[in-house]
Structure 1
Amino acid sequence: MLTPLTPLLPSPSTAAYALLAVAGAALAAWAYLYLYTVYALPFRNLRGPVPASALFGSLITQQKAEPGTTYAAWAATHGPTLRFRSILGSWRIVSTDPAAVAWVLQHTGQFHRQTGFNRMLDRMMGRGVLMVEDAAHRRQRRVLAPAFSAANVQDMMPVMWDKSYEMIEKLEKAVREGEAEDKESGTRIDIHLYFMRTALDIIGLAGFNYDFGAGEGKDNVLSQSLSTLMNFIQKPNLVRVLQIFYPALLPIPTAYTRMLDSTRIIQDRVGREIVAARKAELSDVKVDKRADIGKDAISLLLKANMSPDLDDKQRLSDDEVLGQIGTLMVAGNETSAIALAWACMHLTQHPEVQERLRNELDAVPEDRPSMDELAALTYLDNVVHEVLRFDPPLPQVVRMCVQDTVVPLGVPVRGRDGQMMDKVVVSKGTEFVIPINEINRSTDVWGPDAGDFNPDRFDRGKPGVAVPSVWGNLVTFIAGPHNCMGYRFALAEIKVMLFVLLRNFTLEPLPSHPRIERRGMGFVQRPFVVGEEDKGIQLPVILRRREA
């Protein structure tokens, strides 16, 4: 006898049809992702590695390896421009061809920054200059760029010197405490931690006249939230990867998105206080080109933004000004600290370089030389140049093609059909990877010793091949309309901290000589000690005070 519920229960045939429909949909999705997309690829003739995984392609292989290794191995086999399968059947192009890279970086109308990564930054920091494209980017950059002119960076250097000498005081104390326990062995110091704290204090004061007090060990809600987020990003997480590659998934609440939102709330609150304070200082000042309203970047930005010479359509909104604070914190803090950490690693591995550099610095009569005087120190410039070549803080950048386009190749590659290719048709939605590490270490550019750390290479004159660059024939600071406008600030900061560090201490490797591994989680390559991964990011050295 049938009950009233009987019609609600699926019959065996209905269940079978449903199962068949699901299987059919899965098969159709598989056919689309793994058959049709390959057939429809306009660049399918490019060679590349065999995917290591059906779901993740070669992405996991690339991300598990140290930055600067996988792409180089692929290029040696398949040529400087190649394709590889990424997540869920999508395809990426990667190229170490300087001409192709220059074309992509120059044509920002056709190639935008990676959509998912941009939306993540937007959610965390607001729509600062790193997150916007086209006309919005040009408008923001026009207002912000003057803050990082050579003259303005020179005006910011007193902050760099003050905070760097405060760092020396903290290191002196730590070394004395270590000597009290064991003077012969020296003191183990995580030098990266000191650089991070100092760089944060410098960008806080030079960027927006805000004292984080990181060097003093003060608890600051803004720096703590950002630090927590960055530590979280170090840990591999499938959901986070999917949300970056597929921005439509970002609205789904996860631990990652909740942390992004929490960081944004704190940053907006502190940022509005900073902007309000700067505006209050300007309220009684006639803003023109001669007005002296503060040396920090946000004050200079507000001055430019309020200038009567600026068209109203070009002015930034309060939210856009606010977005620059997060941009300055992320772009102007960790990257410099990471570069300094790698510098110390190389100086411990090459004591002859360290000694020669120290001799040059000791010969400087001033304790606080100007930016021009630092620039005149040729070996310091060579060392910084080589560090940024060998270990760029950003191992790669990714650009998303936003309209079908043709990218010319400077170095033709042999296609899968055996024919030579001198251009690549790139379809809308394709991600184009620019591997900074591999280009900076290219033997075609820097010769057969490109894999060696050798500051003297910059005494040879210009290399034989030009690469897209805003400084030093390196891709480190990118090139084109989206180049790093703060590169002068970064170079000055790195040189100032190396100057004070080496005039006061000697650096040695740990007696155990642990292997320092580069990991590119997040968007910069950070140092980890193999076997001490649980301690997180660190660059330990033995620090000794120099005898008076």
Structure 2
Amino acid sequence: MTSALEKVTGAVRQRVSSLTSVPLPRSVDERWLGATWPVRELAPAPPGLKPVLGDDGAPVLGHTLDFMRFGTDFTLKRYETYGPVSWMGVFGRRMVVLSGPEATQIALVNKDKAFSSQDGWKFFIERFFDRGLMLLDFGEHHLHRRIMQTAFTRDRLAGYLGQMGPTLREGVAAWSDRANPRIYWSLKQLTLDVATRVFMGMRSGDDADAINRAFVKAVRAGTAVIRFPMPGGRWAAGLQGRKVLESYFRANLPSKRLSDGEDLFSALCSATTDDGERFTDTDVVNHMIFLMMAAHETATIAATSVVYNLAKNPEWQERARQESLALGDEMPDIDALESLTALDLVLKESLRLNAPSPSSARMTVKDTEVLGHFIPEGTLVNVTPTVNHFVPECWTDPMRFDPERFNEQRREDKSHRYAWLPFGGGAHKCIGLHFATFEVKALLHEMLRAYRWTVPPVYKARWDYTSLPIPADGMPIRLERR
């Protein structure tokens, strides 16, 4: 472990030096890079176990702002300092952080059922995404996942892909008058259009725009520092966004129950297991709100990361483009998208370097231990699998963009079962991972056919982790029609 951490140390320092030049108060950088906080035990450990060590960070806020500013770099620094099991002050309380493949596997496999996803996420997003699939546990989670799986079969995915194709092609073509777009915001609008079309059967327009704004407010509220409905604050906006979403889905649910539409809303209304189990109306509303959030946010981040890496590595952009052009002008189906091997390698590497969901919340529902460290009942836990994406025991030169690490000859993602986790792992592994993969590949396929794009050689993306990792400047690119 020591040698691995030493390698991480050098890589972290190299990466920190490459952060954007956006100025910060000198004290902030010094506090993160050089200042130390008193190291304390989380709780006394029983005989045979070790206490979890960590620090509170700044008064009240703890390390909340550190993580929002530095994201993965901050978690790598914590891994370097404390190892795979530690705690830190955040959002006014103490939270255990589990990093590295072994610690991550223990929490996500959850053999002794000590880690509750429902109770963990409750602290962050329950008020906005109540009883979404990620916020259910154990038997109830298994039941809801079985019902929902009928809406994500390969045949269903093929239908969704057929619906999203024209929306993506039309949306990408509309960028032709924007020579220097902030590509994150362009992609976000497009993935929201896809989500409202494929998930809800809605066309673009005022209603769709209102729904999209409500989702954005709900997503941003989860990591609000002021966690009560102060007028004008993110928490209050999120609660209002939730009301808008509930009203829309409840108003449209009766007609969806009677329809045989191909959108996800209709699919969840009719989803039935072989045993006849179905969702209640309330279940459908809760799952739709959660799935809409998960789908468009993760797809936007993943697509933005791919666009960035293809801009920085034009040889890979051209390699991927040639594969897309070889498919011709027809809308690609699932088999066609699966044949885009270069784009697949770039997507996987982009997800490694910037996972759309960089952490996963849990709460211990009984005393437990991880790698010999004692964690008491009632402890908020943050599982950070993105650290696993950079540990040198799993990856060659982990800070370098190298899509070939995923080719069949190397398959570095197989170095450990939990080395690569862009979609989570264990029982709560993302149910929509194949949908997201096809959507991102279909979107990039349309971009590659229509444009070439670049960023200045000195440009480096800085990811803002206030909610999920997004480019702080929206990522300006130069877009040129082919």
Q: TM-score, normalised by structure 2?
A: 0.83
Whether contact under 8 Å (1:46, 1:82) holds in the other structure is no
Alignment of 1:391 with 2:383, yes or no, is: no
Structure 1 residues 163 and 87, CA gap change in structure 2 (3 angstroms): closer
Alignment of 1:259 with 2:259, yes or no, is: no
Cross-structure match for 1:64: 69
Letter in 2 for 1:263: G
Whether contact under 8 Å (2:120, 2:362) holds in the other structure is no
Give the one of 447, 464, 467 matched to 1:519.
464
Give the one of 100, 105, 110 matched to 2:103.
100
- For the residue of structure 2 that corresponds to 1:475, the secondary structure is coil
Cross-structure match for 1:226: 215
1:83 deviates by 3.5
Whether contact under 8 Å (1:165, 1:500) holds in the other structure is yes
Cross-structure match for 1:122: 126
Cross-structure match for 1:458: 406
The within-5 A match list for 1:260-275 is: 260-275=238-253
The within-5 A match list for 1:12-91 is: 38=42, 40=44, 45=50, 48=53, 50-65=55-70, 67-86=71-90, 88=92, 90-91=94-95
1:365 deviates by 3.0
Deviates more, 1:359-368 or 1:253-262: 253-262
Whether contact under 8 Å (2:39, 2:55) holds in the other structure is no
1:356 deviates by 1.6
Letter in 2 for 1:61: D
Cα distance in 2 between the residues matched to 1:231 and 1:75? 27
| Count of matched residue pairs | 442
Structure 1 residues 169 and 366, CA gap change in structure 2 (3 angstroms): closer
1:358 deviates by 1.3
1:51 deviates by 4.3
Cross-structure match for 1:349: 312
Cross-structure match for 2:27: none
Per-residue deviation, residues 187-221 of structure 1 (Å, max 9, x unmatched): 211222221122112122222322344xxx87632
Cα distance in 2 between the residues matched to 1:232 and 1:128? 16
RMSD (Å), alpha carbons: 2.9
The within-5 A match list for 1:259-408 is: 259-281=237-259, 293-305=260-272, 309-311=274-276, 314-407=277-370
Unaligned stretches of 5+ residues in structure 1:
1-33, 176-186, 241-249, 282-292, 410-422, 530-537
Cα distance in 2 between the residues matched to 1:161 and 1:317? 31
Structure 1 residues 101 and 148, CA gap change in structure 2 (3 angstroms): same
Cross-structure match for 2:24: none
Letter in 1 for 2:119: T
Structure 1 residues 406 and 254, CA gap change in structure 2 (3 angstroms): farther
Unaligned stretches of 5+ residues in structure 2:
1-37
Cross-structure match for 1:157: 161
Whether contact under 8 Å (1:86, 1:92) holds in the other structure is no
Whether contact under 8 Å (1:111, 1:402) holds in the other structure is yes
Deviates more, 1:428-437 or 1:118-127: 118-127
Whether contact under 8 Å (2:424, 2:430) holds in the other structure is yes
Cα distance in 2 between the residues matched to 1:86 and 1:193? 29
Structure 1 residues 197 and 56, CA gap change in structure 2 (3 angstroms): closer
Deviates more, 1:41-50 or 1:85-94: 41-50
Cross-structure match for 2:376: 427
Cα distance in 1 between the residues matched to 2:128 and 2:63? 29
Letter in 2 for 1:446: W
Whether contact under 8 Å (1:129, 1:140) holds in the other structure is yes
Letter in 1 for 2:319: R
Cross-structure match for 2:9: none
Letter in 2 for 1:70: F
Give the one of 194, 197, 203 matched to 2:195.
203
Structure 1 residues 190 and 88, CA gap change in structure 2 (3 angstroms): closer
1:59 deviates by 4.2
Cross-structure match for 1:543: 479
Whether contact under 8 Å (1:119, 1:131) holds in the other structure is no
Structure 1 residues 231 and 404, CA gap change in structure 2 (3 angstroms): closer
Whether contact under 8 Å (1:203, 1:332) holds in the other structure is yes
Whether contact under 8 Å (2:42, 2:87) holds in the other structure is no
Letter in 1 for 2:250: R
Letter in 2 for 1:453: F
Cα distance in 2 between the residues matched to 1:121 and 1:342? 25
Per-residue deviation, residues 29-71 of structure 1 (Å, max 9, x unmatched): xxxxx99974535699457555433444444433332x21122
Cα distance in 1 between the residues matched to 2:417 and 2:382? 14
Structure 1 residues 352 and 111, CA gap change in structure 2 (3 angstroms): same
Cα distance in 2 between the residues matched to 1:263 and 1:464? 38
Cross-structure match for 1:239: 226
Structure 1 residues 46 and 427, CA gap change in structure 2 (3 angstroms): closer
Letter in 2 for 1:527: P
Cα distance in 2 between the residues matched to 1:344 and 1:110? 40
Cross-structure match for 1:528: 472
Alignment of 1:479 with 2:411, yes or no, is: no
Whether contact under 8 Å (2:214, 2:242) holds in the other structure is no
- For the residue of structure 2 that corresponds to 1:445, the secondary structure is coil
Larger gyration radius, structure 1 or structure 2: 1
- For the residue of structure 2 that corresponds to 1:368, the secondary structure is coil
Cα distance in 2 between the residues matched to 1:36 and 1:171? 53
Cross-structure match for 2:17: none
Q: Provide the identity percentage.
A: 23
Cα distance in 2 between the residues matched to 1:316 and 1:464? 36
- For the residue of structure 2 that corresponds to 1:443, the secondary structure is coil
Cross-structure match for 1:441: 390
Whether contact under 8 Å (2:104, 2:384) holds in the other structure is no
1:458 deviates by 1.6
Per-residue deviation, residues 68-117 of structure 1 (Å, max 9, x unmatched): 11221232343333333445562423321x12211211117321227364
- For the residue of structure 1 that corresponds to 2:163, the secondary structure is helix
Deviates more, 1:386-395 or 1:67-76: 67-76
Cα distance in 2 between the residues matched to 1:37 and 1:327? 36
Deviates more, 1:321-330 or 1:457-466: 457-466
Structure 1 residues 85 and 270, CA gap change in structure 2 (3 angstroms): closer
Letter in 2 for 1:223: N
1:333 deviates by 0.6
Letter in 1 for 2:288: I
